[in-house]
Structure 1
Amino acid sequence: MAYDNATAYETIELFGLTEKGAVLPIPEDDTLKDSITRETFEALLGQLRGTGLEGEIEPLAHGFATILQRRKVALGKELDRTADKIGALAKSHDGSEIAETALEEAQVRFLQLREIVGAVETMAEAAAECYEVETGHAFIPAAGSRASVWAQETGAVFEAQQLLEQHDRETAAKSKVEGVPLIVSGATDWTDIDVIFNTLDKVRDRIRQNRNQEIFLCHKGGKHGAEMIAARWARARGVAQARFDPRWSAHGRAAPFKCNDEMLDDKFAATGVVLFGGNGVALNLGQKAEAKGLTVMRVADPAKKPSDE
């Protein structure tokens, strides 16, 4: 097969992998079963048939299959530990760049392990089948069970897991934010509540009419001024909010500008931006939004003269 004939260098060139930690592709199931496991099994034991070592075929075949079974179990435990680590990192996340990097690396490792576990499980099952064909006996590992963890579940365990899964689904449904993202920012000294309430009411109604969708508010969680009033509007109207807190420890003075980039990330697909007065950060947000082709509404503070803005 093409995968078997390719050298490591050819694979690296094909997939553009140049870093030491780069991940090479995992073979397809057919390759794992046939070209790797069954051919290895035959190469190891085939030459022993009809010789004085034929009696060793059974224990050697059993040992080969058991190695893969044990490796599958060990990788499964590492996968569980990585899942626990992700949960712990998510709970203790302090917004720092170090914490963000650690969480991302743990998630990447989890996804890698999940693929590896699946591949080794495929090989382990293929080796067990080879043993049974060769010896005529059912394969039973020296320790542990050939069955996967899911096949060993008792009724009580199954019910418990179903309960946990239902709880996770309900929790996710409660925290899920649906609708069209609308970014709001502005001056920290803004005091006119009515202007913000009336403006956001009109924007919300227009989006409902044109797109038949609810909005949810995106802002930096300012404790004063326009963003604080906009957050009050959202609570009063029952509109969901997504707060992008500046990570001062990670980005220093650039933290508010980094928040602008995060809110304008394409994956959030913001519908537009509303700026109530503003400062350099709000100006930066408006310019970046317009560069992305988003509609930017600028509302002047009625308490200030144009020259004061």
Structure 2
Amino acid sequence: MAYDTANTYETIELFGLTERDAQLPIPEDHILTDHIIRESFEALLGQLRGTGLEAEIEPLAHGLATILQRRKVALGKEVDRTADKIGALAKSHDGSEIAETALEEAQARFVQLREIVGAIEVMSEAAAECYEIETGHAFIPAAGSRASVRAQETGAVFEARQLLEQHDRETAVKSKVEGVPLIVSGATDWTDVDVIFNTLDKVRERIKQNRNQEIFLCHKGGKHGAEMIAARWARARGVAQARFDPRWSAHGRAAPFKCNDEMLDDKFAATGVVLFGGNGVALNLGQKAEAKGLTVMRVADPAKKTAQD
């Protein structure tokens, strides 16, 4: 695209309104409407009243409102594309760190985009109102429609969307993990299957009696030792699992400790921790759990006790 032939909207797409840091806050509605849109209109158009450029007020006001309208439409399409991307990533997720990172980034971008679309929509409506106040004419975009997508739907399209929404709700209910989280960790060289099966059977039964709830297992997805055996126990008993994979490329050697923090996050409300032997990572998990007031059960490895005897 040649810069000197690009229209205003293309220039904005090229240089402005691009992705921003997701941590930066979105301005509140009153700031968007009053301090940004209305003051911008007044600063630009107010100076043209009573001058030889007064005839340009109407097309300039229309152009400003149309830019925001077009940006809202473009962002709405990007929201749809990102939603499709999330669905595809979730469907093809292979448990790798790359897939996990891609899914997390897509979800974060989706949330960010929805907030941006909401803000642009507020600005777009405010700009349309400013145009109408300034000119006395109803604002009609140069392309597209000012009406919301839902307002343009036919009856058949509306019913189709309702059906899809119902399907999404039913799928979410089926996918929802019920119960209380129980965190399991331990030694990678643990081999005694019976000890882990018997221990988790007892813990599960005790929680059912005390809280009348099923558990679901939280672990770091270890391919060997205690966590691998615990995962086998969960599959054998029909207990749901949540795997917290260490993100080595992001956190380096601290990755397993970051996993401990994630499993102990208050939003998961873990009921307790069971440690089958373990190393410094497991000890760190136990100490942090106790600091949060959680019950920690430590089970010694029978093989190592026998060796010591």
TM-score w.r.t. the length of structure 2 is: 0.74
Unaligned runs of 5+ in 2: 1-19
2:29 aligned with 1:29: yes
Structure 2 CA distance, aligned partners of 1:178 and 1:274?
20
Structure 2 CA distance, aligned partners of 1:137 and 1:259?
59
The aligned counterpart of 1:111 is 111
2:192 aligned with 1:178: no
TM-score w.r.t. the length of structure 1 is: 0.74
Structure 1 CA distance, aligned partners of 2:36 and 2:279?
63
1:167 shift after superposition? 1.8
Secondary structure of the 2:164 match is: helix
1:144 shift after superposition? 0.9
1:145 shift after superposition? 0.8
When the two structures are aligned, how many residues end up with a matched partner? 289
Secondary structure of the 2:145 match is: coil
* Structure-to-structure mapping, 1:154-173, within 5 angstroms: 154-173=154-173
Letter aligned with residue 190 of structure 1: T
Structure 1 CA distance, aligned partners of 2:98 and 2:180?
31
1:131 shift after superposition? 2.5
Q: Which digits, 9 at most, give the CA deviation of each residue in 1:17-66, with x for residues without a partner?
A: xxx95754433222322333233333433444455544443333322322
1:154 shift after superposition? 1.9
Check whether the contact 2:218–2:243 (CA below 8 A) recurs between aligned residues.
yes
Cα distance change on mapping 1:144 and 1:230 into 2, 3 Å: same
Structure 2 CA distance, aligned partners of 1:97 and 1:235?
23
Cα distance change on mapping 1:123 and 1:298 into 2, 3 Å: closer
The aligned counterpart of 1:5 is none
Secondary structure of the 1:140 match is: coil
The aligned counterpart of 1:211 is 211
The aligned counterpart of 1:295 is 295
RMSD: 3.6
Cα distance change on mapping 1:301 and 1:30 into 2, 3 Å: closer
The aligned counterpart of 1:190 is 191
Structure 1 CA distance, aligned partners of 2:281 and 2:219?
12
Structure 1 CA distance, aligned partners of 2:36 and 2:250?
47
Structure 2 CA distance, aligned partners of 1:177 and 1:141?
46
Percent of aligned positions that are identical: 89
Cα distance change on mapping 1:256 and 1:40 into 2, 3 Å: closer
Structure 2 CA distance, aligned partners of 1:253 and 1:45?
58
Secondary structure of the 1:178 match is: coil
Structure 1 CA distance, aligned partners of 2:48 and 2:281?
76
Structure 2 CA distance, aligned partners of 1:33 and 1:23?
22
The aligned counterpart of 1:75 is 75
1:196 shift after superposition? 3.7
Unaligned runs of 5+ in 1: 1-19
Structure 2 CA distance, aligned partners of 1:235 and 1:52?
79
The aligned counterpart of 1:45 is 45
Letter aligned with residue 217 of structure 1: L
